[in-house]
A and B are shown apart, each in its own frame.
Chain A
Amino acid sequence: MNEPLIKIRDLHFARGDRAIFKGVNIDIHRGEVVAIMGPSGTGKTTLMRLIGGQLKPDRGTVEIDGQNVHALSHDDLYALRKRMGMLFQSGALLTDLSVFDNVAFPLREHTDLPERMIHDLVLMKLQAVGLRNARRMMPAELSGGMARRVALARAIALDPMMIIYDEPFAGQDPISMGTVVDLVHDVSDAMGLTSIVVSHDIKEAAEISDTIFLLSGGKVIESGSPIKLKRSTSPWVQQFMQGLPDGPVPFHYPGTPFAEDLLSGSEASDYD
């Protein structure tokens, strides 16, 4: 197999005293759709920001297309980001611009295309996400699902080589869920994009991905095709894939045991 597009090696990252990653290794090949999964709070969003160069790891490297993201100069990092699309959980649309202008934003910032051509390109991208007729609306008038579709259109405006989605399925109603699943699939298929889907929605992620990486306790605990993971005998993997509430992966945020907390009496509080 050829050299992976994204190579994460021995990644360590801590927030304060809390270690979020303790040695993560991930390879992502060109054209693949990869799901990075794990329970809420494992650091999926953090990993995405490390890949995008917005956070610096304490140790380890992230290499994209042969470039070490965290060793790049400001200008080189920005040049690399032009080839990356990133979809934030909130959509992160610019609230003072219309849907059309949001999608046109990267084109106007990074190209000298005539306005006539930008118009056509934007309409094509909006057509792809089914929102061509919503182009005059403002972000505040969109539902959460629509906002994320506009953000998707914007993320693919510059025809990037890869795209990262943060929880694209979270909070979608059943209909828009189906639409978003199809969209993620179509976008990677039609454009040959390398796609990284960061998610905790097992069913949808398994449906579209070629490879799944399961994160827990700061490490990748299992990786492979969705079928391989479903057949895995590891209790960790089974717990997550079947969505069992508690098991080897604790449901509770780490800390003191419940009984001890109950016995300790009242909570120190500055409320009174």
Chain B
Amino acid sequence: MIESVLRGLGRWGLDLLWRLGRGHLFLWEILKGVPETFIRFPLLIKQLYSVGVLSLMIIAVSGLFVGMVLALQGYYTLVDFGAEDSLGVLVALSLVRELGPVVAGLLFAGRAGSALTAEIGLMKSTEQLSGMEMMAVDPMRRVIAPRFVAGVISLPLLAAIFSALGIIGAYLVGHVQLGIDAGIFWSQMQMKTDWSADVVNGIIKSVVFGVVVTWIAVFEGYDCVPTSEGVGRATTRTVVHSAFAILGLDFVLTALMFGG
């Protein structure tokens, strides 16, 4: 009994290390293909569309609603202290520092990451990747690298859109519905939001999440068991691992950025 538990644990550990090793070698291979991606621009544009533009809808709508809810919740708390004028600051800081990168990252993993894994996994299971290799076209450069670059470019932009729409949502609720003075709402926000401490740190987070989520997504697709079941599992893993990675890294990054 104990022996088999230990054996299972050992196998799990070895498997994990093995996957981590493969994942990092894979990242190195991708990075070697990145410069070429900017030369073959049409390929990148196509991926920017399917990875970025197609995620716009869910990001925009979610951003708007998150901002509106934040404003409502914030208002009812702040108003007790007579501090409802700070609503703009509260919402902007929450979004720019945390919710923008994190929620956009989670949504991005669910929308674009899973689609990337499924697409690449399907290409693998239908021998399209093998076929490319035998046509002397390196799938790392032709298929993986452009998707990776597109993901890394897209997420920071999507996170910015998420935050911007969230702030607009908060303005609608705060000013139009709850009657906070628009001038105070905006000027407080402008005064108390710092460019480098808040905005830049938020952007750094979203870039890190973009790299990690897209890396996980393309790796899971490329590494999947090439059957329909294998592709399905890989897709699930992409979403779960991305979520863990985003939340864990967010904690680490926040501690580094705002803790010191």
| CB of B15 within 8 Å of the partner chain | no
| CB of B181 within 8 Å of the partner chain | no
Complex contact B134–A52 (CB within 8 A): yes
Contact with B along A9-21 (1 / 0, CB 8 A): 0000000000000
Given contact pairs A90-B127, A92-B126, A106 touches B135 in the complex (Cβ within 8 A): yes
Complex contact A84–B134 (CB within 8 A): yes
| CB of B137 within 8 Å of the partner chain | yes
What is the CB-to-nearest-CB distance from A82 to chain B, in angstroms, rounded to a whole number?
4
What is the bound-complex CA distance between A86 and B128, given in angstroms? 12
Complex contact A81–B127 (CB within 8 A): no
What is the bound-complex CA distance between A222 and B198, given in angstroms? 75
Residues of B within 8 A of A106 (CB): 135-137
Residues of B within 8 A of A105 (CB): 135, 137
Residue from the list B130, B137, B138, B142 in contact with A88, Cβ < 8 A: B130
What is the bound-complex CA distance between A94 and B129, given in angstroms? 9
| CB of A95 within 8 Å of the partner chain | yes
| CB of B133 within 8 Å of the partner chain | yes
What is the bound-complex CA distance between A247 and B204, given in angstroms? 68
What is the CB-to-nearest-CB distance from A113 to chain B, in angstroms, rounded to a whole number?
16
**Which residues of A76-119 have CB atoms within 8 Å of chain B's CB atoms?**
78-79, 81-82, 84, 86, 88, 90, 92-95, 105-106, 109-110
| Interface size of A as a range | 20 to 34
Complex contact A79–B136 (CB within 8 A): yes
Given contact pairs A92-B126, A92-B128, A82 touches B134 in the complex (Cβ within 8 A): no
What is the bound-complex CA distance between A54 and B129, given in angstroms? 11
Complex contact B130–A92 (CB within 8 A): yes
Contact with A along B226-248 (1 / 0, CB 8 A): 00000000000000000000000
What is the bound-complex CA distance between A105 and B43, given in angstroms? 13
| CB of B131 within 8 Å of the partner chain | yes
Complex contact B131–A92 (CB within 8 A): yes
What is the CB-to-nearest-CB distance from B12 to chain A, in angstroms, rounded to a whole number?
18
Complex contact A54–B137 (CB within 8 A): no
Most A-side CB within 10 Å, residue of B122, B133, B135? B135
What is the bound-complex CA distance between A88 and B132, given in angstroms? 11
**Which residues of B97-128 have CB atoms within 8 Å of chain A's CB atoms?**
122-123, 126-128
What is the bound-complex CA distance between A226 and B137, given in angstroms? 36
What is the CB-to-nearest-CB distance from A69 to chain B, in angstroms, rounded to a whole number?
12
What is the bound-complex CA distance between A154 and B132, given in angstroms? 11
Complex contact B127–A92 (CB within 8 A): yes
Residues of A within 8 A of B131 (CB): 86, 88, 92-94, 151
What is the bound-complex CA distance between A110 and B142, given in angstroms? 12
Residues of B within 8 A of A109 (CB): 135-137, 142
| Additional A-B contacts beyond A49-B130, A54-B133, A106-B135 (12; CB < 8 A) | A52-B133, A52-B134, A78-B138, A81-B134, A82-B135, A84-B134, A90-B126, A92-B126, A93-B128, A93-B131, A109-B135, A109-B136
A-B complex: 7 closest residue pairs judged by Cβ atoms? A92-B131, A81-B136, A92-B127, A86-B134, A82-B136, A78-B136, A106-B135
Provide 20 A-B residue pairs closer than 8 Å at the C-beta atoms, listed in order of the A residue. Answer: A49-B130, A54-B130, A54-B134, A78-B136, A79-B136, A81-B135, A82-B135, A86-B131, A88-B127, A90-B127, A92-B127, A92-B128, A92-B131, A94-B132, A95-B123, A95-B128, A105-B135, A106-B137, A109-B142, A110-B137
Q: Which residues of A contact B (CB under 8 A)?
A: 49, 52, 54, 74, 78-79, 81-82, 84, 86, 88, 90, 92-95, 105-106, 109-110, 151, 154
